[in-house]
Amino acid sequence: MKLKTILMATAAAGILSVPAVAQSDMSLAEAPCENCADSMTLVSWGGAYQQSQINAYSDPYSEATGVDIVWDESSAEAVARLRAMNEAGNVTWDVVDVVAADAIRLCDEGLAMPVEHDELLADAPDGTPASEDFGDLIVSECFIPQIVYSTTFGYRTDVADWGDNTPSEICDIFDTETFPGQRSLEQRPIGNMEWALYCDGVAFEDIYDTLETEEGVQRALDKLGTIKDDVVWWTAGAETPQLLADGEVVIGSTYNGRLFSAIEEQDQPIAMLWDMQMFDLDGWIIPAGLPEDRLNRAKHFLKFATDTQRLADQAKWISYGPARASSAPLVGQHADLGIDMAPHMPTDPANSENTFLFNYEWWADNRDDLDARFQAWLAQ
């Protein structure tokens, strides 16, 4: 998928300042659900993102249906956990939030259930079928898109050792002379390998071709090796904002919504570095092999949680662009802060001058091998 497609699908969420309309009625949640389980387990990523899902989706759904919803914060381990559950014949999750690359892997392995999007999901208010409303963001027959987000960098605004210098481009993370101090990077190859090659002189369009080669992988690791001694490695998105807030690192990567929360909601001395932000997609999958009553409940919930208004509602609490084109014009102000969400969206023109589209299909094919190589490098 081309970056242009994502920007077109979500640009309004980052450009318009249209006040959010009143919430849609609860008819989808209140519709009869025959032979449906009275409880369900939803899996996500924790933190501000999961709270936005609770506010926009699960709390309204529970209030309308009386269903007991349990949240699990294990999305980062979704592939491994679902593999283990499947092998044990005991799948305990009902709906799982995953990144697009993981959805493709789970679908290919038969661990996620293929869905008919136009049968499962609600039409847009004007009658546009869901498959058209989500468009090219449906990257797998098992994937139900939810948001467009980016992995980017935040940095402290009060580092005395930097003098008057301020990080302005992605390659500043490798410049420990101008910007001394500890960095934080995710403890996986995704993102890190692309940024390393870019900052080692590889052109945008050649990055994944370069990573196809042993020499290219080593080149990326060698570049990361120049700052390895200055890096704190994180595994959960909440870690970088906390490390920044505590002053343990001066610059670090995480999801743009996490940084929004630290900057706007917590008023931390942190700023965003949008350069070379890495766009990605996030959405839902239904694990394969659920009993009928749990599957019926999962489908009932997803029809409600992915309608036009609900996806727009999520953007009231976090700065991620909704994946439905019909949702974008409904995004307005933050529900609690009353600030315009437009300047905080990764798709806003001011933030997306130099972006990089994460190639989820490439990573779906190469993730296991690169993960093993990266972890071995970390252990050296």
161-187, pLDDT tens digit by residue? 999 999 999 999 999 999 999 999 999
What was the pLDDT predicted at 17? 35
Burial class (CB in 10 A: 0-12, 13-18, 19+), 200: middle
d(CA 188, CA 376): 11
What was the pLDDT predicted at 24? 52
What was the pLDDT predicted at 348? 80
Task: Give φ, ψ of 120 to 5 degrees.
Answer: -80, -40
What was the pLDDT predicted at 350? 85
Q: Residue 3 — pLDDT band, cuts 50, 70, 90?
A: very low
d(CA 285, CA 355): 27
Burial class (CB in 10 A: 0-12, 13-18, 19+), 371: middle
d(CA 82, CA 93): 9
d(CA 342, CA 18): 9
Burial class (CB in 10 A: 0-12, 13-18, 19+), 141: middle
4-37, pLDDT tens digit by residue? 444 444 444 443 333 333 345 578 988 889 999 9
SS (H, E, C) the chain: CCHHHHHHHHHHHHHCCCCCCCCCCCHHHHCCCCCCCCEEEEECCCHHHHHHHHHHHHHHHHHHHCCEEEEECCHHHHHHHHHHHHHHCCCCCCEEEEEHHHHHHHHHCCCECCCCHHHHCCCCCCCCCHHHHHHHHCCCCCCEEEEEEEEEEEEECCCHHHCCCCCCCHHHHHCCCCCCCCEEEECCCCCHHHHHHHHCCCCHHHHHHHHCCHHHHHHHHHHHHCCHHHEEEECCCCHHHHHHHCCCCCEEEEEHHHHHHHHHHCCCCEEEEEEEEEEEEEEEECECCCCHHHHHHHHHHHHHHCCHHHHHHHCCCCCCEECCCCCHHHCCECCCCCCECHHHCCCCCCCCCCEEECCHHHHHHHHHHHHHHHHHHHHC
Report, as an integer, the average pLDDT of 192-219.
97
Q: Residue 131 — pLDDT band, cuts 50, 70, 90?
A: very high
Q: Residue 150 — pLDDT band, cuts 50, 70, 90?
A: very high
45-93, pLDDT tens digit by residue? 998 899 999 999 999 999 999 999 999 999 999 999 999 999 999 999 9
What was the pLDDT predicted at 30? 83
The larger pLDDT score, comparing residue 32 to residue 252, is at: 252
Report, as an integer, the average pLDDT of 126-134.
96
What was the pLDDT predicted at 20? 37
Arithmetic mean of pLDDT over the chain: 91
